[in-house]
Amino acid sequence: KYPDHLKWIKFSGASWLPDGSGFYYGRYPAPKEGDEFEDQNYFNKLYFHKIGTDQSEDVLVYEDTEHPDYGFYSWITDDEKYQILGVWSGANDNNLLYYRKFETSG
């Protein structure tokens, strides 16, 4: 069993690296104490979590401070050549997709 415990994740799945060593996920900033259930869903960020490490060590992969309502997800293509970044915004029907050459360093 791994000690991994991740917080402040909402509307996000886990997109695993092909070797299973870690995954990409979206999370929101930690709220102020006492406001855990009051904050708006703003300023989502995409992180990479390596299995067996503390959440404080997760690597920030992407954020967009100019669009606080955007949310992010990512996956690696089946041929392991590209990483896809998906961007969504609330109930908006339009999504954005970006890609980059995948590097196994995570």
Q: What is the pLDDT of residues 46-101, one digit of tens each?
A: 999 999 999 999 999 999 999 999 999 999 999 999 999 999 887 677 889 999 99
Residue in this structure with the two tokens 């980059």, named with its chain if needed? 100
* Residues with Cβ within 8 Å of residue 53, at least 6 apart in sequence: 4
Q: What angle do CA 57, 58, 61 make, to 5 degrees?
A: 140
Closest CA to 51 of 77, 20, 96, 28: 20
* Tens of pLDDT, residues 2-52: 778 898 888 888 999 999 999 999 999 887 776 666 667 888 999 999 999
Q: What angle do CA 36, 3, 13 make, to 5 degrees?
A: 60
